[in-house]
Structure formats: C-alpha cells, structure tokens
C-alpha cells in the first residue's frame, strides 16, 4: 500500500535515511559527513505536516519511500513560472529491490504531481549511483543539467 507517511513511521524511515546517507558518505566522503542520525524527529514531523513523504508499506513494514519538496519559481526575469516537485530521495530496501516498488512509488508521485498542478518533477542523482540513474531514465526522466565538482583540498 502507498500512503502518506505518519509520525509513527519515524524509526523505520530514519533507518532507511541512514542507509541511503551511509551509501552516499562512502561514495562521496569529501562531501558527506558520517553521522549517527540523518534527520531529527522534529524535522521529520515537519515533513509529515507538509505531506512531503510517501511510503510503500507491506504488512506494516515500510519497504520504500519518496521524500520531496516544493520548488516554486515565480516572476523570474529569464525563467518561466514553474511549480516543481523536487525529489530528495527515492529509496527501496535492498531486500525489496527488483520487485517494482520503486516504479510504483514513482508512478504515485507522478500522479500526485499532475493532480496538484506541478509543472515538473526534478531530482539530482550522483554519478556513482548508476542503478538509480538507469531507473530514472526508465521512468521517462531526462538529463537537463550536469553539475560538476572539483575538490580544492582546503578542508
């Protein structure tokens, strides 16, 4: 079942956030800190209040989620007005990958975006995350910009 996250989901989602953060921290140690907790319960509850987390639940166990934010561009001098659904994370537990859960979550968020008059769905994907990149392409997403980085070794 796909539903909006609730306050009671904090522990399960927090564990998944830690998992995805650890993967990123390992792949990009110059960018990410190693932390014990990725999101506080208070920050999580604020996201719940804004209805910005959707979960996939099976037998009371959350096996995937989408966390997103609104990005509004209005009256910009050179960019058209837009209401963007910006995906922060799409996560499916490693034991559940390949079962279509990610596809169901993405389809749900796409319907949500259309029903709520978003003009685009955007996200960032790290270049090391080849499987995610392939998944997003399979869902009809296209590359629109490439962000590059060079470490100056100052920190």
CA–CA gap between residue 43 and residue 126 (Å, rounded): 24
How far apart, in Å, are the Cα atoms of 117 and each of 15, 67, 68, 95, 130? 32, 18, 15, 34, 30
Instruction: Return the pLDDT at 107.
Output: 98
Lowest mean pLDDT across 18-32, 114-128, 140-154: 140-154
Residue-wise pLDDT tens digits, 28-48: 998 999 999 999 999 999 888
pTM, full prediction = 0.90
Sequence-ordered list of residues with C-beta below 8 angstroms from that of 54, at least 6 positions apart, any chain? 2, 3, 4, 5, 65, 66, 68, 105, 108, 109, 112
Instruction: Return the pLDDT at 48.
Output: 87
Structural domains of the chain, with CATH:
2-138 (3.40.630.30)
* 154 or 112, greater pLDDT: 112
Instruction: Return the pLDDT at 152.
Output: 86
Residue 155 has pLDDT above 70, yes or no: no
Instruction: Return the pLDDT at 153.
Output: 76
Instruction: Return the pLDDT at 39.
Output: 93
């Amino acid at each position: 079942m796909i539903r909006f996250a609730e306050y009671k989901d904090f522990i399960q989602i927090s564990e998944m956030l830690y998992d995805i953060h650890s993967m990123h921290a390992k792949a990009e140690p110059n960018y990410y800190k190693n932390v014990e907790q990725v999101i506080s319960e208070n920050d999580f509850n604020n996201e719940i209040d804004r209805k910005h987390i959707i979960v996939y639940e099976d037998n009371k166990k959350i096996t995937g989620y989408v966390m997103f934010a609104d990005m509004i561009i209005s009256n910009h001098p050179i960019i058209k007005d837009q209401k963007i659904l910006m995906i922060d994370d799409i996560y499916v537990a490693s034991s559940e990958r390949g079962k279509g859960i990610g596809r169901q979550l993405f389809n749900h968020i796409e319907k949500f975006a259309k029903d709520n008059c978003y003009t685009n769905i955007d996200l960032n994907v790290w270049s090391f995350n080849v499987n995610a990149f392939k998944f997003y392409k399979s869902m009809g997403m296209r590359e629109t910009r490439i962000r590059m980085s060079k470490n100056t070794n100052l920190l």
